[in-house]
Structure 1
Amino acid sequence: MSTGNSSNTAPIGPRPVVAGLPHYAAGKAPLPVPGLQSYKLSSNENPLPPLPAVLEAIAAQTAVNRYPDPQSAVLCQAVADHLGVPFADVVAGAGSLGALNQILAAFAGQNEDGSQDEVLYAWRSFEAYPISVGLSGARSVQVPLRPDGTHDLAAMAAAVTPRTKVVLLCTPNNPTGPALDAAQTEDFIAALPSGVLVVVDEAYREFVRSDSAVDGLELYRRHPNVVLLRTFSKAHGLAGLRVGYSLSRPGVSEHLRAAAVPFAVSTVAAHAAAASLAHVAEVVERVQSLVAERTKVVAGLAGLGWDIPDAQGNFVWLPLGVDSAGFAALAGEHGLSVRAFAGEGVRVTIGEPEANARFLALCASSTKVPRRS
């Protein structure tokens, strides 16, 4: 039996696409600062713990020696009942990102002749998009945002080609914050070929307060080529359990089930999410408290002369450009971890009232301010 010859051994390497993928940069925990309580405002997490009833549901799931239900029937039925949709239209995923990966695996990639499908999305948007698209074998087509942080739907429609298989719409857009306009989105979808799948990523839907904002649920009801993505990570405070879902017509959902990762959603996560939906009025109350904090932060920034995009998620976007890294470092010195996107801006999660007040105080003292003229 040969043991191999190290001099003739080729290096172990990944597929070529992997080398070119951007790296996902998760929000960092805050560093300790003497005399200060530190706060993490870098990952758009809900600063509030899950509801007591949800914690009870988590504690009740003790059979972790058994595999979970591969269909996550408890979760899917709870979602179907809550939204008033058919059970067959709901497909569980490990967070909305897991659900997105199932969509890409089923509908976009590299074809038998070596050609690549195209996945179209605005940029900057959720930084996992180019990673997921690249790993699927498809080609990313990124259309720049408008200066105000909104999707340029006209430019996106113009970028559609016969190879376009999927369009991703992030609303509210992460990290800039604006939500898509309902009428404009309807016109955009109407302009697309019917064979193009439109994925409406509504991870922050519960925080939206704009009267003109698009409603992904209504889009799904009206358009058979629309897939809705939602998650329990943000409003429900279950980010650590990785549970979300997609919503689509049977002609789409059946293929998503075929592409789904087996047992992706744990029994604990499924029951926790179902319990949170059973107490959704309390979730809504908590979300409103965060929206109220967001309103204070936005008003405070406006009073300081800061010019920021419309904030419809649980975060605000500071378009600081080349000063982004410096502002993030300064925030760290004050016990606040924020998420800097080098050369572009800083995303700051709405956190505890004390954290939000300290953030505003920091902005008041900063000389690096995108001020209105």
Structure 2
Amino acid sequence: MDQPVSRRNWLRAGALLTAGLTVNRSSFGSNLWNPVTANAQHEQRLVNEFARLGLAAPQIKARIAFNENPHGLSPKAKEAIVKAVDSGNRYAMFEGQELKKLIAAREGVKPEQVMLSAGSSELLTAMAVYFTGSAAKGKGGTILTSQFTYDDFLGCSKKFGAKIEAVPLTKEYRYDLATMKAKITPETKLVYICNPNNPTGTVLPASELVAFCKEVSAKIPVFVDEAYIDFLKPEDRPALPKLVAEGHNVFLTRTFSKIHGFAGLRLGYAIGPEKFLDELQDYSRGEWNPSVTTLKAGIASYQDDEWQNFCRTENDKARELLYKGLKDKGYEYVPSYANFVLFPIRMKTKQFEKEMFGNGVLTSTREYNAQPYCRVSIGTVDEMALFLDVFNKIV
């Protein structure tokens, strides 16, 4: 049974999650950050740079920086939102339980092994508090992960005193599971894996990841961030929920922000051991945060397999167009299983962003081993064609 959330616990959780946290994304794992705020700051920085040069910011024709779904919501989700408007004056009471039952039935776990949240970022922060912050029996500890991965959870954990041990990627830009396993020490508190990985878009072979989780979770917890798992066909996804059902110390987070198009509506969930999720409730508003309208839309979208298949198919088409355009220009790329592609560029990151932005294309960059990269989100076919037109003009 889910742990009741009193108003006192709710406020306590809010204080834990906000006290002393700096919203400022800079170097790897250095500060806590809010993805939405960071995205807005990214765009505003470019606007400010144009203003400094005495230029008006261009109209954005392709916003392909934040891995959003360019096709929007499922028609069934839109219909559910319209119908739910009259319920918007009420707190969500039963809708969350309905969605949890749907998720549990599909994934082969109990509803008590599912926890909802307003997007998955809230869960990542709560887990950092739980494993390395004031909730932890011993603060800090070591989080074992990869060197080039999604840094939200890692940044939070570092802020709470954790040490981040990051193993370099393999030459295929994947997590090196064998090396990670060899790096586990008595000080290792948790293993963190993002699969498909952000920003590389790579995936681990399902059988290898399942075997790793089984073996390692007998010693320490394994946390797998599956924000982009829906871009894999169901038959290609690692059966990690099955490990939870079998009692392994494995937990995962997922989000509706990507293939479901809920980046602005905010809905996510965790799957994990029941005892762990019960305790995590103390450090997250969790079940209380998603609105009744979002939950009703989520229930409709979760069951709309046709729309998810459509989004996957369109994503594949646009990604293939990007691949061809990069190849034609003599650029290599990291083969992706998500809705973004990482590839090395031949100019400074900030200059590349500014040149693209000046032509109405908003994208993002980062560096790895001193090499500048562009991580471009997959938009519509027309948006990717525009990206390639501008790319060909500036490089």
Identify the TM-score tier after normalising by the shorter chain: 0.7 to 0.9
Q: Of the candidates 144, 147, 157, which is equivalent to residue 168 of structure 2? A: 144
**1:194 equivalent in alignment to 2:203:** no
Q: Of the candidates 106, 120, 135, which is equivalent to residue 82 of structure 1? A: 106
In structure 1, how many angstroms separate the alpha carbons of the residues matched to 2:308 and 2:272? Answer: 25
2:90 counterpart SS class: coil
Alignment correspondent of 1:6: none
Q: Of the candidates 269, 285, 306, which is equivalent to residue 310 of structure 2? A: 285
In structure 1, how many angstroms separate the alpha carbons of the residues matched to 2:170 and 2:62? Answer: 31
1:326 counterpart SS class: helix
Larger Rg: 1
Cα offsets for 1:151-178 (capped at 9, x unmatched): 1222322332212222111111111110
In structure 2, how many angstroms separate the alpha carbons of the residues matched to 1:276 and 1:116? Answer: 38
**1:270 equivalent in alignment to 2:295:** yes
Deviation of 1:221 after TM superposition, in Å, equals: 4.6
Closer, same or farther: CA 364–216 of 1 in aligned 2, 3 Å: farther
Relative to the length of structure 1, the TM-score reads: 0.83
Alignment correspondent of 1:102: 126
- The code of the aligned residue for 1:293 comes to A
**1:64 equivalent in alignment to 2:88:** yes
Cα offsets for 1:32-52 (capped at 9, x unmatched): 877x76110010000112122
Is the 2:60–2:360 Cα contact (8 Å) retained in structure 1?
Answer: yes
Deviation of 1:313 after TM superposition, in Å, equals: 0.6
Q: Of the candidates 146, 152, 156, which is equivalent to residue 122 of structure 1? A: 146
Alignment correspondent of 1:370: none
Cα offsets for 1:85-125 (capped at 9, x unmatched): 32111111221222223333333335888652222221221
- The code of the aligned residue for 2:79 comes to E
Deviation of 1:249 after TM superposition, in Å, equals: 2.8
- The code of the aligned residue for 1:21 comes to N
**1:354 equivalent in alignment to 2:382:** yes
Deviation of 1:325 after TM superposition, in Å, equals: 2.3
In structure 2, how many angstroms separate the alpha carbons of the residues matched to 1:210 and 1:112? Answer: 35
**1:46 equivalent in alignment to 2:69:** yes
Closer, same or farther: CA 278–336 of 1 in aligned 2, 3 Å: same
Closer, same or farther: CA 215–305 of 1 in aligned 2, 3 Å: farther
% same residue: 28
Closer, same or farther: CA 70–212 of 1 in aligned 2, 3 Å: closer
- The code of the aligned residue for 1:53 comes to K
In structure 2, how many angstroms separate the alpha carbons of the residues matched to 1:331 and 1:352? Answer: 17
In structure 2, how many angstroms separate the alpha carbons of the residues matched to 1:112 and 1:81? Answer: 32
Is the 2:130–2:136 Cα contact (8 Å) retained in structure 1?
Answer: no
In structure 1, how many angstroms separate the alpha carbons of the residues matched to 2:222 and 2:307? Answer: 32
Aligned residues: 353
Query: For structure 2, which runs of at least 5 residues remain unmatched after alignment?
Result: 1-18, 25-29, 48-55
Deviation of 1:211 after TM superposition, in Å, equals: 8.3
Deviation of 1:194 after TM superposition, in Å, equals: 1.5
- The code of the aligned residue for 1:318 comes to F
Is the 1:145–1:152 Cα contact (8 Å) retained in structure 2?
Answer: yes
Is the 1:171–1:204 Cα contact (8 Å) retained in structure 2?
Answer: yes
2:224 counterpart SS class: strand
Alignment correspondent of 1:157: 181
Alignment correspondent of 2:343: 318
Instruction: Please say which of residues 347-356 and 60-69 is displaced more in the overlay.
Output: 60-69
**1:26 equivalent in alignment to 2:39:** yes
In structure 1, how many angstroms separate the alpha carbons of the residues matched to 2:324 and 2:289? Answer: 41
Is the 2:129–2:136 Cα contact (8 Å) retained in structure 1?
Answer: no
The alignment's C-alpha RMSD in Å is 3.1
2:89 counterpart SS class: coil
Determine which structure has the larger helix proportion and give its number: 2
- The code of the aligned residue for 1:307 comes to E
Query: For structure 1, which runs of at least 5 residues remain unmatched after alignment?
Result: 1-13, 368-373
Instruction: Please say which of residues 21-30 and 225-234 is displaced more in the overlay.
Output: 21-30
Closer, same or farther: CA 274–192 of 1 in aligned 2, 3 Å: same
Instruction: Please say which of residues 81-90 and 68-77 is displaced more in the overlay.
Output: 68-77
Closer, same or farther: CA 167–309 of 1 in aligned 2, 3 Å: same
Is the 2:64–2:376 Cα contact (8 Å) retained in structure 1?
Answer: yes
Deviation of 1:209 after TM superposition, in Å, equals: 5.9
Is the 1:207–1:291 Cα contact (8 Å) retained in structure 2?
Answer: no
Deviation of 1:253 after TM superposition, in Å, equals: 2.7
